[in-house]
Structures are given as C-alpha cells and as structure tokens.
Amino acid sequence: MLLKMLKAKIHRAVVTEANIDYVGSITIDQDLMDAAGIYEYEAVLVADLDNGNRLETYVIAGARGQRDICLNGAAAKLIKVGDQVIIMAFCRLNEQEIKQHQPQVVFVDNQNNITEIKSYEQHGQIK
C-alpha cells in the first residue's frame, strides 16, 4: 500500500506577483525549489495564510536569486500579491519507506530569503 505523505514545503513565502493572463501554475525561484527538493512541473498544494484559500497547481521554475513566488492563471484570483503562503509537495511511500522519511522544510523571511532548512522527524519534531 502506498500512502500520500508530505515530501517538502516552503513555509510562509510571500507572493510577489499574481498574473491572471498566464496559462496557469505557480512560478517559484529555482533556489527555493532546489532547497526544498521540489521539481519543475511537480504538483503542489498552496495554502494562503491570509485568506484560507487552498489550491493545487504545478510548479514552473523562476529565475534564480529573484525570490519570486508568482500565482498564475485562475490561481491569481484566489491568492494576491503580499499574501503569505505555504507551498507543499507530496510523495507516495510504502510503509517501509515511511519509517525513514523526513520531509524537507524551507523557512523564508518576508523577502523570500532562505532563513533555515530543516527536516521533520517522526511525530512532527523538527531537527
């Protein structure tokens, strides 16, 4: 049996752009993607801390060092510039893999600069 588990998240990123005219997706700075272990075109869940909206989309790589978080297409109607979001990627693991699994967590400041990278241990403890 495979279970859907948190793989990685970028915690409290600030949305820098919302582009309704783009086809769709979320654009994330490539440095942030690398730190979290999130791949281009990977599906992610985005939770808006300001209004409670949640949406699923896929990732487009943004320019390195720009610290951009851009909601594109219909997502731009749910999440606005300046909102804080949690971006979560998931994976499917079997019960043996779950025992060793430690999701990667990237913490950022209000300018989307990485402040800390940690892993969750079992029972929600951060190391």
Active-site residue identified among 22, 25, 39, 120:
25
What span, in angstroms and rounded, lies between the C-alpha atoms of 94 and 109?
A: 34
Q: Is 119 a catalytic residue?
A: no
Active-site residue identified among 39, 41, 58, 119:
58
Q: Is 58 a catalytic residue?
A: yes
Task: Considering only the C-alpha atoms of the chain, give the largest distance between any 2 of them, rounded to a whole number of Å.
Answer: 44
- Show Cβ contacts of residue 124 under 8 Å, excluding neighbours closer than 6 positions: none
Q: Is 52 exposed, middle or buried (0-12, 13-18, 19+ CB in 10 A)?
A: exposed
Active site members? 25, 58
